[in-house]
Chains A and B, each alone.
Chain A
Amino acid sequence: GAGVSQSPSNKVTEKGKDVELRCDPISGHTALYWYRQSLGQGLEFLIYFQGNSAPDKSGLPSDRFSAERTGGSVSTLTIQRTQQEDSAVYLCASSLAGGQALAYGYTFGSGTRLTVV
């Protein structure tokens, strides 16, 4: 598609429930990133996928968080047993790989606003 698509745009869930957030990157972009933006905070890196390589999971805050990317395209971020501190906007971005990302830039989706009540 023309841009990075994220769904849902808003999600309200009860504490303790699991949630899945979806990201559909730009066609042809091999790199995909998840970031979290909490109220009053900057953007926090969560995870990075590049092609068929093992993902960089160094930013995932706990083992309740996981992500996968099927077929090198769509990605799903899963949060298990949600907590109130998980409330944030979750942003997905995609880019061409490596140096091409710097030349052509990263494109962000509009995000999923997650509220845990």
Chain B
Amino acid sequence: AQSVTQLDSHVSVSEGTPVLLRCNYSSSYSPSLFWYVQHPNKGLQLLLKYTSAATLVKGINGFEAEFKKSETSFHLTKPSAHMSDAAEYFCVVSTQGAQKLVFGQGTRLTINP
């Protein structure tokens, strides 16, 4: 079975400093991985996805993630946090055949002025 573990339930950084949101995955096959963001009272928005092409994936709003098979990780990073980045972030793995998405528990990102 596929699963993802988000290692931090809450991350707090200062505006202008780097962001690191950690995600480890478990999959019996080569996975497809996603990061979604959810702003308060809004729907889920796709940030980026990895589908076995380049291991460094660039997404929207300056976010990127690196797929590391040896570490079974897919951490999300951004060089400089902005106040508008404050939201809940979900690491997601797709089941084989893409029938369903399996979500991590989420990481709440707080940006301090």
Interface residues of A (CB under 8 A from B): 4, 31, 33, 35, 41-45, 48, 50, 56, 59, 91, 93, 95, 97-99, 101-103, 105-111
From A56, A91, A95, contact of B44 by CB (8 A): A91
Question: With A91-B44, A108-B43, A108-B44 in contact, do A42 and B106 touch (Cβ < 8 Å)?
Answer: yes
Task: Tell whether, in the assembled complex, residue B99 and residue A48 are in contact, meaning their CB atoms are under 8 Å apart.
Answer: yes
Q: Which 5 pairs, one residue from A and one from B, show the smallest C-beta to C-beta distance? A: A43-B103, A108-B44, A110-B43, A101-B98, A42-B105
- Complex Cα distance A97/B99, Å? 8
Q: Which residues of B contact A99 (CB under 8 A)?
A: 98
Q: Which residues of A contact B103 (CB under 8 A)?
A: 35, 42-44
From B34, B43, B101, contact of A45 by CB (8 A): B101
